[in-house]
Amino acid sequence: MNKIIFSLILAVTSINVAFAAAGNADAGKTKAAMCAACHGANGIGTNDTYPNLAGQQADYIAKQLKAFKSGTRVDPIMAPMAAGLSEQDMADVAAYFSGLDRSGVTASADGGTTNSGAPAAQAVVAYVADASAGKSLYELGDASRSIGACMGCHGKEGNSNVLIYPNLSKQHAQYIEKQLHAFKDKTRTNFAMNQFASAMTDEDIADMGAYFADTKAVANVKVKRVATAAVITEEAIAGEAKAAVCASCHGVGGNSLVPMYPKLAGQSADYIAKQLREFKAGVRKDPVMAGMSAALSEQDMAELGAYFSSKKPTAGNGSGSALGQKLYFGGDASRGITACIACHGASGKGMAKAGFPAVANQSVEYLTAQLTKFKTGERDNDRNSMMRNIVKRLKKNDIEALTQFMSSMK
């Protein structure tokens, strides 16, 4: 489990690492001539098995070409294509393709093909219902299966604004499905995507393809949340007796009545156990909790986690916020703020298996205290700085807005 979380974090945080040589789009145009047979002179794939490159993130294109060349992404057609390209060539063709218009209307004077980028005609009637399901999964993920909200990384309707997350908008539906199957059976490797795709059923993948066949067709469909049911286990029953001593601060059943004490009801069991382990070891510093956790064994921590996670949380004291909601669901690409939904889920319930805590129902005061501690570095038990990297970009009023919003989530 730790290994999974660690690698997932690596995959996620790799967005912050640096990129390739600066590319020259003009030089790239000449070098891209040989690519046109398949990817189209306008960067729109000439058939459904060839991905559209027009408007794709340049860094992403360069990264894929490197992967095809080194063999870490396996494709018999692309391997020889990439083999002859230098780093500079890759940067140049990437700059060229990323500058082309994704809508499929060619701007080139050399009379490139003008096939349409939107394969809308393929959205057969029988697929409409599935496209809605695909949209729900895309926008909300499914916390019960640890499937991240795709929108958190790939952007609304697939328009990613973050360099290393590929654009999916107006991509061929068949290509998207093929890649999800490749991530699922790990013939294509990327840690985050392997986790999400392996939790997807073949139907989910088909739904996702149907959604991308024409995202506009379901623009007005309301997304549906996937609910998770708490499971009562033997561990949870054993934890109840041990939790009596916690009630003076965290409340009966983990529903604290004092805002400065966090609610533990409905929090993920693995996350609770991790925090207790770290309070005990001094990795997360709090004088009160250091004392409370000192005598707990690993088994006690697991049981306490199981007990509290099975309890139903009461509502938080937040009053909501439009700015907070916007940041939570959409992040802010211009400031490098990843959308909170990608990890904390559409309803703020977190992602238990990945170790991402619930943030809904918590008090404004506690949430503010934690974001502030991440910002000052006083709390630094988030692996690979995944929270600190985001919070350092938040201004005081962002934090106020986000905590009001999260605390109002149910």
Residues 284-323 that bind ligand HEC (CB under 6 A): 286, 288-289, 292, 304
Residue of 25, 131, 340, 401 that binds ligand HEC (CB under 6 A): 340
**How many helices (H) and strands (E) would you count in the chain?**
21, 0
Could you tell me which stretch among 109-117, 125-133, 159-167, 313-321 binds ligand HEC (CB under 6 A)? 159-167
Calpha distance 314→322 (Å, rounded) = 22
Binding mask 207-236 for ligand HEC (x = CB under 6 A): -x----------------------------
Yes or no: say if 343 and 149 are a contact pair by the CB < 8 Å rule. no
Calpha distance 93→85 (Å, rounded) = 10
Calpha distance 351→344 (Å, rounded) = 6
Least separation, in Å, of the C-beta of 297 and ligand HEC? 12
With H, G, I as helix, E, B as strand and everything else as coil, classify residue 86.
coil
Residue of 44, 168, 346, 409 that binds ligand HEC (CB under 6 A): 168
Residue of 333, 312, 162 whose CA lies nearest to 236: 312
The radius of gyration computed from the CA coordinates of the chain, to the nearest angstrom, equals: 23
Could you tell me which stretch among 109-117, 124-132, 214-222, 339-347 binds ligand HEC (CB under 6 A)? 339-347
Could you tell me which stretch among 33-41, 123-131, 222-230, 313-321 binds ligand HEC (CB under 6 A)? 33-41
- Residue keyed to tokens 């794709």: 56
Give the phi and the psi of residue 2 in degrees, each rounded to 5: -60, -40
SS3 sequence, 274-340? HHHHHHHHCCCCCHHHHHHHCCCCHHHHHHHHHHHHCCCCCCCCCCCCHHHHHHHHHCEHHHCECCC
Least separation, in Å, of the C-beta of 109 and ligand HEC? 20
Calpha distance 392→337 (Å, rounded) = 9
Tokens standing for 31?
Answer: 């070098």
- The answer to the question of residue 346 lying near ligand HEC (CB under 6 A) is no
Least separation, in Å, of the C-beta of 38 and ligand HEC? 3
- The answer to the question of residue 178 lying near ligand HEC (CB under 6 A) is yes
Least separation, in Å, of the C-beta of 138 and ligand HEC? 6
Least separation, in Å, of the C-beta of 102 and ligand HEC? 12
Could you tell me which stretch among 32-40, 105-113, 123-131, 215-223 binds ligand HEC (CB under 6 A)? 32-40
Residue of 19, 50, 128, 161 that binds ligand HEC (CB under 6 A): 50
Least separation, in Å, of the C-beta of 401 and ligand HEC? 10
User: At how many degrees (to 10) do helices 234-242 and 298-309 cross?
Assistant: 100
- Comparing CB distances to ligand HEC, the nearer of 123 and 273 is 273
- The answer to the question of residue 38 lying near ligand HEC (CB under 6 A) is yes
Q: Which residues between 234 and 253 bind ligand HEC (CB under 6 A)?
A: 245-246, 248-250
Least separation, in Å, of the C-beta of 222 and ligand HEC? 19
- Comparing CB distances to ligand HEC, the nearer of 41 and 386 is 386
Binding mask 259-278 for ligand HEC (x = CB under 6 A): --xx-x--x----x-xxx--
Yes or no: say if 41 and 114 are a contact pair by the CB < 8 Å rule. no
Least separation, in Å, of the C-beta of 114 and ligand HEC? 19
- Residue keyed to tokens 């992602």: 351
Please tell me the total number of residues recorded for the chain in this structure: 410
Yes or no: say if 20 and 62 are a contact pair by the CB < 8 Å rule. yes
Calpha distance 189→131 (Å, rounded) = 26
- Residue keyed to tokens 């949870």: 236
- Comparing CB distances to ligand HEC, the nearer of 12 and 306 is 12
Tokens standing for 289?
Answer: 């909790």
- The answer to the question of residue 191 lying near ligand HEC (CB under 6 A) is no
Q: Which residues between 110 and 149 bind ligand HEC (CB under 6 A)?
A: 137, 147-148
Binding mask 77-96 for ligand HEC (x = CB under 6 A): xx--x-----------x---
* Number of residues binding to ligand HEC, judged by CB under 6 A: 79
- With vertex at residue 247, the alpha carbon angle to CA 246 and CA 251, rounded to the nearest 5 degrees, is 130
Least separation, in Å, of the C-beta of 26 and ligand HEC? 15
Least separation, in Å, of the C-beta of 88 and ligand HEC? 13
- The answer to the question of residue 380 lying near ligand HEC (CB under 6 A) is no
